Amino acid sequence: MRGRWSLVVALMSAASSSVAADPDAAALKPLLGLIETVEANYAGDPPLRRDEVVKQAASGMVSSLDRYSEFLDQQKYKDLQEDTRGSFGGIGIEIGIVSGKLSVIAPIEGTPAFAAGLLGGDVIAFINGTPTDDMKIMDAVHRIKGPPGTKVVLTIQREGSPMRDVPLIRAIITPVNIRDTVLEASGIGYVAIHSFSEHTAENLYDALRRFKEGKLKGVILDLRSNPGGLLQEATRVVDLFLPGGVAIVSTEARDPAQRAKYYSSEKMEVPQFPLVVLVNEWSASGSEIVAGALKDHRRAIIMGRRTFGKASVQSITPVSIDKTQALRMTVARYYTPSHNEIHEVGIEPDVTLPASRYPPGMRRYFDESAFNRFAAEVLIAIGPAGAGTVWLDAGALKAGRLAPPGKGAAPEKVDGRIGVEFRRWADRQGWNETDEAWDELEDSVVEQVRIAVMRKVKGEESARRYAIEFDPQVRTAAALLTLSSSVPAAGRPR
């Protein structure tokens, strides 16, 4: 199969005389005739060159296969390579096709997209005024990326809200694919993998080794909103948790060269931690390989929501002489160790959790950057060190630490004052909430104000770590690890 595709691209790029010498040329003559006719007779301005016609023909042919296959010109191929290594100019966002629409999978913390309040599930209806209907993912990526300091406007459709334009200034984006911390309230290790790019497994191994020094009760591996990435890195992540010789994933394809079975190697010793894996409806591809393998081998408890269901494998094959263009094509599907179907099905969690969604009334506050604005006014009023405040602990602010839920002196008193002050401030902005609406919003508001204050005092990374303590799904997983002795530990499939 791979040889036939290489032949097609080569034939399209060659002169008619060389094509005629090939025994398969007869089937391709209509295509070559079409290219020559367009080149000779198209009345548009400027006239199309041969290389442009060939590129458009290749793009149309490949895009008709499925939504994941694509002919990559020089710029798109470069964009794809940047996705798996290094940094780039962009807005810091993961995108994908959901229910036929270009959508936000997740913003990356500390980026323009995150600061603008974009959320997973937001539909991107237009990019700089260009409609995204039937737009390929890599085309959208190319349009969104650009030199740092330049502007891109996304038109966002969010469920329950009117369509709106979101202007964003591009910045240097350096993805951080592994983030780890120890949950202060429970003493549980937490690792989030945001995508599977180069060195992901190596960085996870380092995090697990650091956890060993803390003698933790267990580890939460957070794969929520992880869209996938490199197949090799996903299998290496699973390899860290299983004994040698255990099946991880298999791929099935028409081309025998694309068929494979991956097994664990047990080359690196890792701590024997009980493990919970968090997934959601935006966990896809490599995330599903990891969750599926650990579930089949009963190595971990999978918690959250049914995953996305993207289990097709795309090969990336350079097709031009200078290797600046490539063919991205679906060549296989992968299956869990028990040969369970994933594509368009997803991984069903062992424990289903309610969706992590804020009350509808929170959308306005996120859209208006209300929490960051309020936090800025609070810090101006009370001073950078929090001196004299009665509703944000001065010592905690000075140390860059605010007590998480369930820990610290009189948190109910502190949270109550936060709620009162924010509601007064919101009223001054004209956002008057009824008592009934406020009862639904208050807990979420307090959480976001605390996070925003931490962001202003200690920066984005500290705010992110602090926010994990509030996450209801993380807290549920931590409670399970703390209370249950039945959670599987590393190296001991059950």
Q: What is the pLDDT of residue 140?
A: 92
Catalytic residue among 285, 287, 312, 315: 285
Q: Poorest-confidence range of 51-55, 100-104, 345-349?
A: 51-55
Residue 109 above 80 pLDDT? no
List of residues 6+ apart from 204 with CB closer than 8 A:
178, 191, 193, 237, 240
- Cis-peptide, bond into residue 46, ω within 30° of zero: yes
Tokens 């500390």 locate to 110
Which pair of structure tokens corresponds to residue 361? 């009334």
Average pLDDT of the residues in 163-185: 89
Q: What is the pLDDT of residue 180?
A: 93
Average pLDDT of the residues in 130-155: 91
- pTM of the model as a whole: 0.71
The pair phi, psi for residue 25, each rounded to 5°, is: -65, -30
Q: How far is CA 168 from the centre of its chain?
A: 19
Round to whole Å and give the CA distance between 335 and 287.
Answer: 13
Give the pLDDT band (50/70/90) at residue 22: low
Q: Which has more confidence, 8 or 456?
A: 456
For each of the domains in the chain, give its residue range(s) and CATH number, in order of start. 88-173 (2.30.42.10), 178-352 (3.90.226.10), 360-470 (no CATH)
User: Contact 305/280 with Cβ under 8 angstroms?
Assistant: yes
With residue 113 as reference, give the H or E element that holds it: helix 112-115
Q: Which has more confidence, 386 or 109?
A: 109
Side-chain-side CA neighbours of residue 493 (13 Å): 19
First to last CA, the chain: 40
Round to whole Å and give the CA distance between 16 and 445.
Answer: 68
Tokens 């390989």 locate to 289
Give the pLDDT confidence of 30-75 residue by residue, as tens digits: 888 888 888 888 888 777 787 888 778 888 888 788 877 888 888 7
Q: According to DSSP H, which parts of 306-402 are helical?
A: 362-367, 370-382, 394-399
Catalytic residue among 180, 239, 296, 471: 296
Is 212 tagged catalytic? no
Q: What is the pLDDT of residue 383?
A: 58
Give the pLDDT band (50/70/90) at residue 301: very high
Round to whole Å and give the CA distance between 162 and 151.
Answer: 22
Is 101 tagged catalytic? no
Give the pLDDT confidence of 209-225 residue by residue, as tens digits: 888 877 788 999 999 98
**Strand stretches in 194-348, DSSP E:** 219-222, 247-252, 260-263, 275-279, 301-304, 312-318, 326-335
89-93, 163-167, 416-420 — most confident range = 163-167
Average pLDDT of the residues in 345-365: 90
The pair phi, psi for residue 71, each rounded to 5°, is: -85, 125
Q: How many CB atoms lie within 10 A of CB 215?
A: 8
Round to whole Å and give the CA distance between 288 and 271.
Answer: 23
Is 296 tagged catalytic? yes
Catalytic residue among 136, 186, 310, 415: 310
Side-chain-side CA neighbours of residue 239 (13 Å): 18
Return the axis-axis angle of helices 411-428 and 370-382, rounded to nearest 10°: 110
Cβ burial of 100 (10 Å; 0-12, 13-18, 19+) is exposed
Round to whole Å and give the CA distance between 477 and 275.
Answer: 9
With residue 389 as reference, give the H or E element that holds it: none
Residue 342 above 90 pLDDT? yes
Q: What is the pLDDT of residue 492?
A: 41
Q: Which has more confidence, 119 or 404?
A: 119
